[in-house]
Structure 1
Amino acid sequence: MKLKDLRPFVPSKDYEQSKAFYLALGFNLEEAGPDLCILIKDQCTFFLQRYYNEEFASNLMFQLVVYDIDDVMTVISSVTNIEMKHSPIKNEPWGKVIYLWGPAGELWHITELNR
């Protein structure tokens, strides 16, 4: 089996707010229907859906591996019109990480690995 891509479906409590959140982070958006869009950044994509389940959303986590975590912190810090709940950069034995919570409660582990 050879994989090509893995594209999760991310819930939104407020669909328009979630779209604005991801656009502010630098994702591009392609509409895929009235209740679904695809968010794209470099080679990474995921679906954002107009669907919300609190228990699911608050337990949903992703790891987004980046080349330069300082660059990510600059992007997050420059967003002024949307609330960005996040941790400072944390050093771990395997690399650095920022925890960023999306508008529906989804948690992004934005990671720069040591290797």
Structure 2
Amino acid sequence: MQAEDLRLFIPSLNFQESSRFYEALGFNKTEVNDELAIFVNGGVTFFLQNHFNQEFAQNLMMQLIVKDIQAALNTIQQIKDITFKFEPIKQEHWGKVIYLWGPAGELWHITELNS
């Protein structure tokens, strides 16, 4: 088997708020229907679903690799009127990371890897 892509289905507690959150992060939204939207940024694509399961959402972790972690932090810090949290940039032996919890509790590891 030769894999070409992996696309996650991310839950939302509030579909509209989560949609605004991902658009504020720089993802472009395409609505599929009232229950599903596709978000794209560069070569990264995922589905946002109008469905919530607390246990799943709070255990979901994803890594998003970026070229410029400071630019990512600047974008995150400009998001207003949406419930989410994040930790500032941390230096690890493999690179830098921002831990970002989305509106449903999903955890993103925004990562800039060492060259």
1:14 Cα shift? 0.5
Q: Partners of 1:4 and 1:94 in 2: how far apart?
A: 25
Higher mean alpha-carbon deviation, 57-66 vs 81-90, is at 81-90
Residue segments in structure 1 that go unaligned for 5+ positions in a row: none
Residue segments in structure 2 that go unaligned for 5+ positions in a row: none
**Aligned residue in 2 for 1:88:** 88
Matched-pair contact (CA < 8 Å) for 1:76–1:84 = no
Q: Partners of 1:16 and 1:2 in 2: how far apart?
A: 35
Matched-pair contact (CA < 8 Å) for 2:88–2:98 = yes
Matched-pair contact (CA < 8 Å) for 1:58–1:105 = yes
Matched-pair contact (CA < 8 Å) for 1:27–1:39 = yes
Give the count of matched residue pairs.
115
1:53 Cα shift? 0.5
TM-score, scaled to structure 2:
0.96
**Aligned residue in 1 for 2:30:** 30
CA RMSD of aligned residues (A): 0.9
TM-score, scaled to structure 1:
0.96
